[in-house]
Amino acid sequence: MSAGPLRRLVVLRHAKSARPPGVPDHERPLAPRGRRDAPAAGRALAEADRLPDLALCSTAVRARQTWELASAQWGTPPPVRLDPRLYAAGVPELLHVLREVPPEVGTLLLVGHNPGLEDLVLELAGDDLDDALDQVRTKFPTSAIADLTWRGPTWRDLTPGTALLTSVTVARGAKA
């Protein structure tokens, strides 16, 4: 890893969405399971001490609802930037957005969609702990959280293969 402060990228795939007839993909809301899982994702992040300094979130309804329900589990949520470029983004677009993050941000939460998020995790992770890469290669389901750490002076220095994938968690809320 290169020199610089330790940085953390926490990647959260939106919770399970509904598929109401006639609703455009961008406007799809969370399904009942997603409404249970998103707060569980927020609790998992808090319990693992992975609360972000800044969140970047897709403008899609299901991603925004995931962010709102997850961050409601924390005392004081960090600032969030809704970014339309995160919707349906591939790795090049995601890296472009990440490289714009201010250098004072140590931990960043990225809330978005597959296949882009899964591909991003696999692209950035040069190594892993406890077979986390195998987990992502097998499946990166809704409400999955990937925790990547790396060292670099700025987010512009984030390059493929330089991060360590320290954990993958799939948050699931209990049925009422």
Q: What is the DSSP string of 100-124?
A: TS-TT--EEEEEE-TTHHHHHHHHH
Which H helix or E strand runs over 44?
helix 32-47
20: pLDDT confidence band, cut at 50, 70 and 90? very high
pLDDT band at 176 (very low <50, low <70, confident <90, very high): low
Q: How many CA atoms lie within 13 A of 164 on its CB side?
A: 11
Rounded Cα distance between 24 and 169, Å, is: 29
Q: Angle at which helices 116-124 and 91-98 pack, to 10 degrees?
A: 70
pLDDT, one tens digit per residue, over 32-78 is 999 999 999 999 999 999 899 999 999 999 999 999 999 999 999 99
* Alpha-carbon span 176 to 171, nearest angstrom: 16
Average pLDDT, the chain: 95
DSSP β-bridge partners for residue 27: none
Residue 136 has pLDDT above 70, yes or no: yes
pLDDT value at position 1? Answer: 44
Q: How far apart are CA 69 and CA 15, in angstroms?
A: 10
pTM beyond 0.85: the answer is: yes
